[in-house]
């Protein structure tokens, strides 16, 4: 089958309109989870079906798309989704953060600060920050509606009581514009400060059928205690390849004798720094 057998960006126009309405509502109410009629996509749930639908609804033919998975452009998930849109939308693609207009991401925010011309689309496995604290979805929606968020701090309290510090390292809960508590998808808490960004950030959860958004320059505060403030920690090493000390690092096991190295998780950031140094 050739690419021309698809509508632009795979989804039909009615579906894209439906998703765009959900996105607009999400932008109007920052952090609020908007239900939408998620479609079956040609990939399994958990592989980014929500992000793909949001991206499909945002793309225009002039866009330049970048897809990252855990910061890397060259992993299976990123490569597959990039190919998917190359085939179904025929849009240009890039690995350079600065050149992209739409970036779909799984579990990272690029190190390079984003601009007002960019859209960052997150793949979200579990949109409900209260899910593992309150099993009833009816009750969690009520808690969001009534701004009844004491339970979120109970979780942080438990962390400190058990580990001596807030041990939540990813999917760290944030409060958006002083109102909704939001799960920022499983990004490391190192990335939480970057949620206050110039770019539009959209979150799509396909299986859970929810879309939410953080508009540009929205206030995003990581929850904490007065005497245990939020700490965006990272591994205490420089990148072994580019020497960066300010980027989030992956630990890579390099042999079976305990050898390991720390490298930037954002491959484009790392490559850009090495090019500049060369």
Partner 1 sequence: MTPLLEVRGLTKAYGGRIGCAEVSFTLWPGEVLGIVGESGSGKSTLLNCLAGHLAPDAGQVIFDTRGEGPRDVLAMTEPERRMLGRTDWAFVHQNPRDGLRMRISAGGNVGERLMAVGARHYGEIRAQAADWLARVEIAEGRIDDRPSAFSGGMQQRLQIARNLVTGPRLVFMDEPTGGLDVSVQARLLDLIRGLVRRMGLSAIVVTHDLAVVRLLADRLMVMKDGRVIETGLTDQVLDDPQAPYTQLLVSSVLQA
Catalytic residue positions? 31, 239, 242, 264, 270
Instruction: Determine, following the binding rule CB under 8 A, whether residue 151 of this chain makes contact with partner 1.
Output: yes
DSSP 8-state assignment for residue 72: B
Instruction: Determine, following the binding rule CB under 8 A, whether residue 62 of this chain makes contact with partner 1.
Output: no
Binding mask 97-136 for partner 1 (x = CB under 8 A): ----------------------------------------
Q: Tokens representing 254?
A: 């390099």
Among 154, 169, 235, 254, binds partner 1 (CB under 8 A): 154
Three-class secondary structure of residue 19 per DSSP: helix
Among 13, 24, 115, 225, binds partner 1 (CB under 8 A): 225
Instruction: Determine, following the binding rule CB under 8 A, whether residue 236 of this chain makes contact with partner 1.
Output: no
Instruction: Determine, following the binding rule CB under 8 A, whether residue 148 of this chain makes contact with partner 1.
Output: yes
Instruction: Determine, following the binding rule CB under 8 A, whether residue 278 of this chain makes contact with partner 1.
Output: no
Instruction: Determine, following the binding rule CB under 8 A, whether residue 138 of this chain makes contact with partner 1.
Output: no
Contact between 214 and 220 (Cβ < 8 Å): yes
- Tell the smallest beta-carbon distance from residue 34 to partner 1 (Å): 22
> CB within 8 A of 190, min separation 6: which ones?
232, 233, 234, 248
Report how far apart, in Å, the C-alpha atoms of 110 and of each of 47, 103, 255 are.
19, 9, 28
- Tell the smallest beta-carbon distance from residue 120 to partner 1 (Å): 30
Nearer to partner 1, 93 or 160 (CB): 160
DSSP 8-state assignment for residue 118: -
Contact between 159 and 165 (Cβ < 8 Å): yes
In the chain, the N- to C-terminal Cα span, in Å, equals: 44
Nearer to partner 1, 76 or 162 (CB): 162
Contact between 65 and 102 (Cβ < 8 Å): yes
Among 138, 161, 276, 277, binds partner 1 (CB under 8 A): 161
CA-based nearest residue to 107, from 172, 159, 62: 172
Contact between 210 and 195 (Cβ < 8 Å): no
User: What are phi and psi for residue 55, nearest 5 degrees?
Assistant: -60, -45
- Give the Cα separation of 262 and 265 in Å (integer): 9
Q: Which part of the chain contacts partner 1 (CB under 8 A), choosing from 21-29, 40-48, 225-233, 241-249?
A: 225-233
Nearer to partner 1, 39 or 228 (CB): 228
- Give the Cα separation of 92 and 82 in Å (integer): 10
Instruction: Determine, following the binding rule CB under 8 A, whether residue 221 of this chain makes contact with partner 1.
Output: no
Among 96, 179, 228, 234, binds partner 1 (CB under 8 A): 228
- Which run of H or of E encompasses 80? helix 76-88
Q: How far is CA 215 from the centre of its chain?
A: 14
Q: Which part of the chain contacts partner 1 (CB under 8 A), choosing from 22-30, 181-189, 196-204, 219-227?
A: 219-227
Instruction: Determine, following the binding rule CB under 8 A, whether residue 141 of this chain makes contact with partner 1.
Output: no
Among 44, 46, 157, 178, binds partner 1 (CB under 8 A): 157
Q: Which part of the chain contacts partner 1 (CB under 8 A), choosing from 41-49, 106-114, 151-159, 171-179?
A: 151-159
User: What is the binding site for partner 1 (CB under 8 A)?
Assistant: 142, 146-148, 150-151, 153-154, 157-158, 160-162, 225-228
């Amino acid at each position: 089958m050739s690419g021309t057998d698809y509508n632009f960006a795979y989804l039909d126009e009615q579906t894209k309109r439906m998703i765009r309405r959900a996105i607009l509502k999400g932008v109007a109410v920052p952090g609020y989870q908007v239900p939408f009629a998620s479609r079956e996509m040609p990939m399994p749930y958990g592989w980014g079906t929500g992000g793909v639908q949001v991206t499909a609804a945002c793309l225009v033919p002039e866009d330049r798309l970048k897809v990252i998975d855990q910061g890397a452009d060259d992993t299976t998930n990123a490569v597959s989704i990039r190919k998917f849109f190359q085939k179904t939308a025929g849009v240009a693609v890039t690995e350079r953060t600065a050149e992209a207009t739409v970036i779909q991401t799984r579990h990272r925010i690029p190190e390079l600060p984003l601009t007002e011309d960019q859209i960052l689309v997150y793949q979200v496995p579990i949109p409900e920050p209260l899910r593992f604290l309150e099993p009833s979805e009816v009750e969690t929606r009520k808690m969001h509606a009534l701004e009844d968020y004491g339970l979120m701090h109970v979780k942080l309290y438990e962390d400190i009581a058990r580990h001596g510090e807030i041990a939540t390292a990813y999917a760290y809960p944030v409060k958006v514009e002083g109102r909704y508590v939001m799960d920022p998808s499983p990004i490391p808490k190192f990335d939480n400060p970057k949620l206050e960004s110039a770019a539009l950030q959209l979150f799509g959860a396909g299986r859970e059928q929810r879309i939410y958004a953080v508009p540009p320059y929205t206030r995003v505060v990581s929850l904490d205690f007065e005497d245990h403030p939020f700490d965006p920690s990272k591994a205490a090493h420089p990148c072994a390849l580019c020497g960066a000390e300010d980027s989030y690092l992956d630990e890579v096991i390099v042999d079976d004798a305990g050898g390991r190295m720390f490298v930037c998780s954002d491959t484009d950031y790392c490559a850009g720094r090495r090019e500049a140094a060369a």
